[in-house]
Amino acid sequence: RLLLIPVGSRCIGEFGLDVLDDIERTRIVLQQLRRAGVLVAIDDFGSGYSALSYLRELPIDEVKLDRHFIAPVLGDPRAATVALAVIDLARGLGLTAVAEGIEDAGTAAWLRDHGCPVGQGFFLSPPVPSEELPSVLERPGIGLMRQP
């Protein structure tokens, strides 16, 4: 899935894989959206039909690693290797890696220590209405994904 995120906002649109049938048309539309200040993210990367070629072919800003790769990184060396490879790949392409499904402090620390700059999950915060966001950002530990 492709997510469209205005700068300073949350997702404004989500597109299924059918829009990717015409990669050139998709690239043109995404370039226009980016010029309008919309960030483009590939959601649930690593699950389903998210191809590596999208990272090369499409003008995207973020790669959101599917929670199924994130949850087991502490106990599964293969999952950790895959997660680290995608984090490194995103960094090398000038993209932001976003880890989905962070459920505990150990996973958040592992991701931070391995260079993942952004995370989401119930450990950091459950979904909240926008009016509650300022208080969430003030909570101790919310900056856990930032490098010390």
> Active-site residue numbers?
100
Which amino acid appears at position 143 of this protein?
G
Start-to-end CA span in the chain (Å): 32
Sequence-distant contacts of 127-131: CB under 8 A, at least 24 apart = 130/10
**DSSP designation for 131:** G
Could you tell me whether strands 62-65 and 38-45 are parallel, antiparallel, or unpaired per DSSP bridges?
A: parallel
